[in-house]
């Protein structure tokens, strides 16, 4: 039986030139480098320049992913852009990327906060698997510096701006691809959400409610507790569906929110931190851009190689969370 297998062709990322270190932040808000590092592992974050929008970051990351894949814009017929910080309320920021890259087909945004890239990856995988598109750009891009309250220490030290992208292609395959086969491809995604926790991580503004952009608000301790529990459980559940355990994965590519969350989650899944891609120190929490940024760093640093089995996972506002299993 002929199936369609969705494979990753290449990745790319972009971080704005402006860097805001912990030391510089300590002059803005009551904090210290030691305080931030001890609680989060973050050393610095990148901040978009004036006039630099989410679409600009997304375009640069996408261009690098296309270059890594040996493709150009017209080779793409689907763009799924995950973002919580779009250029405008509408139209979709993805359409700006589409126009800049001269891609074909269709483009749209997905909004699921820090889980956004995994939701976008799942959506693109479904379109490609059904043959409704041949190649897709999946992008996570954010300018979180625009929704932070720079007087609130508990949140402003955590976030930064950035973008990451992956090029996917749908191919015909004989039989359903499996994680044990050694063949590249996306083997499964698992998405979850629970609106009962809507108010522990949110922005206090919106078009319908306040007609303002608002600022990010978070109940840190509750988010930490849910992150460890939900990320480990969704990772374990997805691996179990494929007859795998944490030790079978070559690399875990987690949402880069907090080094302590990442460490606790890896231990629960049963994976060594030696198998975890960790980049949070260099750019902080970039929400939907976090996973593809870490993925691209892993690839370009030579850690992630062709044939490696990867577990991607993230949790964000909603609460929403999810995981993806793929062989690079």
Indicate the length of the chain as a whole number. Answer: 328
Q: Is 156 a catalytic residue?
A: no
DSSP 253-283: EE--S-HHHHHHHHHHHT--GGGB---HHHH
- Tell me the β-bridge partners of 298: none
Report residue 111 as tokens: 């909004």
Annotated active-site residue in 114, 156, 215, 283: 114
Neighbour count for residue 195 (Cβ, 10 Å):
9
- H helices present in the chain, as ranges: 22-25, 33-40, 54-69, 93-101, 116-129, 153-156, 220-241, 259-269, 280-283, 290-300
Annotated active-site residue in 156, 255, 258, 283: 255
Q: Is 258 a catalytic residue?
A: no
Q: Please provide residue 63's backbone torsions phi and psi, each rounded to the nearest 5 degrees.
A: -60, -40
Q: Pick from 306, 289, 274: which is nearest to 82 by CA?
A: 289
Q: Pick from 266, 268, 307, 262: which is nearest to 285 by CA?
A: 262
- Rounded Cα distance, 236 and 119, in Å: 18
Report residue 217 as tokens: 């608000």
Q: Is 255 a catalytic residue?
A: yes
What angle do helix axes 259-269 and 220-241 make, rounded to 10 degrees?
Answer: 30
Q: Pick from 289, 325, 310: which is nearest to 12 by CA?
A: 289
- H helices present in 83-219, as ranges: 93-101, 116-129, 153-156
Q: Catalytic residue positions?
A: 114, 255, 285
């Amino acid at each position: 039986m002929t199936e369609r297998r969705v494979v990753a062709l290449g990745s790319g990322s972009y971080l704005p030139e402006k860097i805001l270190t912990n030391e510089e932040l300590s002059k803005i808000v009551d904090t210290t480098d030691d305080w931030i590092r001890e609680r989060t592992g973050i050393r610095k974050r990148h901040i978009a320049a004036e006039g630099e929008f989410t679409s600009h970051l997304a375009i640069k990351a996408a261009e690098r992913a296309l270059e890594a894949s040996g493709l150009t814009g017209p080779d793409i017929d689907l763009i799924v852009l995950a973002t919580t910080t779009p250029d405008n309320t509408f139209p979709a920021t993805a359409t700006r990327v589409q126009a800049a890259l001269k891609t074909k087909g269709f483009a749209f945004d997905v909004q699921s906060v820090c889980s956004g890239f995994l939701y976008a990856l799942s959506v693109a995988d479904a379109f490609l698997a059904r043959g409704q598109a041949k190649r897709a750009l999946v992008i996570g891009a954010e300018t979180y510096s625009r929704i932070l309250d720079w007087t609130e220490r508990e949140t402003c030290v955590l976030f930064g701006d950035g973008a990451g992208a992956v090029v996917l292609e749908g191919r015909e395959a004989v039989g359903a691809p499996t994680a044990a086969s050694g063949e590249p491809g996306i083997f499964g995604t698992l998405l979850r959400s629970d609106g009962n926790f809507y108010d522990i991580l949110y922005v206090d503004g919106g078009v319908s409610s306040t007609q303002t952009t608002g600022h990010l608000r978070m109940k840190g301790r509750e988010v930490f507790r849910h992150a460890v529990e939900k990320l480990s459980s969704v990772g374990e559940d997805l691996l179990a569906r494929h007859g795998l355990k944490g030790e079978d994965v070559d690399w875990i590519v987690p949402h880069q929110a907090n080094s302590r969350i990442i460490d606790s989650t890896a231990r629960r899944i049963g994976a060594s931190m030696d198998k975890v891609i960790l980049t949070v120190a260099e750019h902080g929490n970039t929400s939907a851009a976090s996973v593809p940024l870490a993925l691209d760093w892993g690839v370009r640093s030579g850690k992630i190689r062709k044939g490696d089995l990867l577990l991607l996972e993230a949790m964000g506002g909603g609460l929403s969370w999810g995981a993806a299993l793929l062989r690079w």
